[in-house]
Structure 1
Amino acid sequence: EAAGRLGVAFEAERVDVPRDSGLGVEATARERRYAALDAMCERHGVAALWVAQHADDQAETVLLQLLRGAGIAGLAAMAPRYRPDGASVERMRPLLRLLRAQLERYAAQRELTWIEDESNGDTRYARNALRLDVLPALAVHFPGFRDALGRAAQHAAAAQRLLDDLAELDFAGAARDDGRALSRDALVAFDDTR
């Protein structure tokens, strides 16, 4: 309806989310949703999928990763641009630095309908519990926490890039026989953190 008023093409697809996938409902739903969106992009010859994840989503992701004991790659959270391995569609997140409240104000000023997924209120899901129960308390005592967590994700992403570069250097130094073998002596010389 809103797309029609704006003269924008709209296509919807429903995905089934099995509850017994072994990944959990949230992860399975995300996987299925992206698979459907990627397929839609491919059908229409679209090279990039623009998604509306914002600074609040990034803050939630950083905190969830931290609470799960993630390493540097996990704490980097969502990259502004990302192409999954083997995918033909790049994912773009242009709103990661904007707060949800800013986006809601923008929509209200332009009389755009804000659509809220009804499952967002279900605190059985970790992200929703964090969003509804924990983040409001954080906002009282640390009003800039969303920006701070966004910066922390950027720092973690930069650190991960450095670690990836170091791993490439280490591999190049240990590789033998055109990369088909590794030198035992070179590997033993690395400290445990490498």
Structure 2
Amino acid sequence: MRTHHLPVIGLLAILLSLSHTASAQYTNWAFGFRIGEPSGVNIRKYFGDNHAFDLNIGTYGGLYGNVRDYRSGKYKTVGLSIQGHYLWHDRLFANENFRGYYGFGGQINSRRYYPDRFAATNDYESGIALGGSAVAGAEYFVPGKQYSIFAELGVYAEVLPAPLFLNVSSGVGIRFNL
């Protein structure tokens, strides 16, 4: 295990050990971690009974591989991603602690692109990519605890610089509900 993961694991262990009473707290702020595409920090703000805004800040390229065909070249590295979605959510199976959600938003990526024309020298171009994204998932609010766990699946459709470049986004994670 890499030592730079230890602070994250320690913080996660502390959050999980807290025993404050909490029911399905979907009208507050939540902060957590997401493993997937993108992986990183997750922040969610719940609005009323069935709306939320979700923000992921982290890396992409680690889960599905960091070498991918793109335009007339390849990606060969992990990049930075900021993803935001406006969500609609509601209870599932008549259980207030188990909620399904879906939403739409956008994504900004910073990537290293290795065009075929630079293959002899292995040079790259750095750039920003913008696109739209959609997500659907489920979240379980653990009874008697202030955390929830979630799993989701989505799609990213790039607009600039490679229109209609598609990428699957998925993730699992945990959020501490404030």
Q: Same fold (TM over 0.5)?
A: no
**Structure with bigger gyration radius:** 1
Considering fraction of residues, name the structure with more strand.
2
TM-score normalised by structure 2 residue count: 0.25
TM-score normalised by structure 1 residue count: 0.23
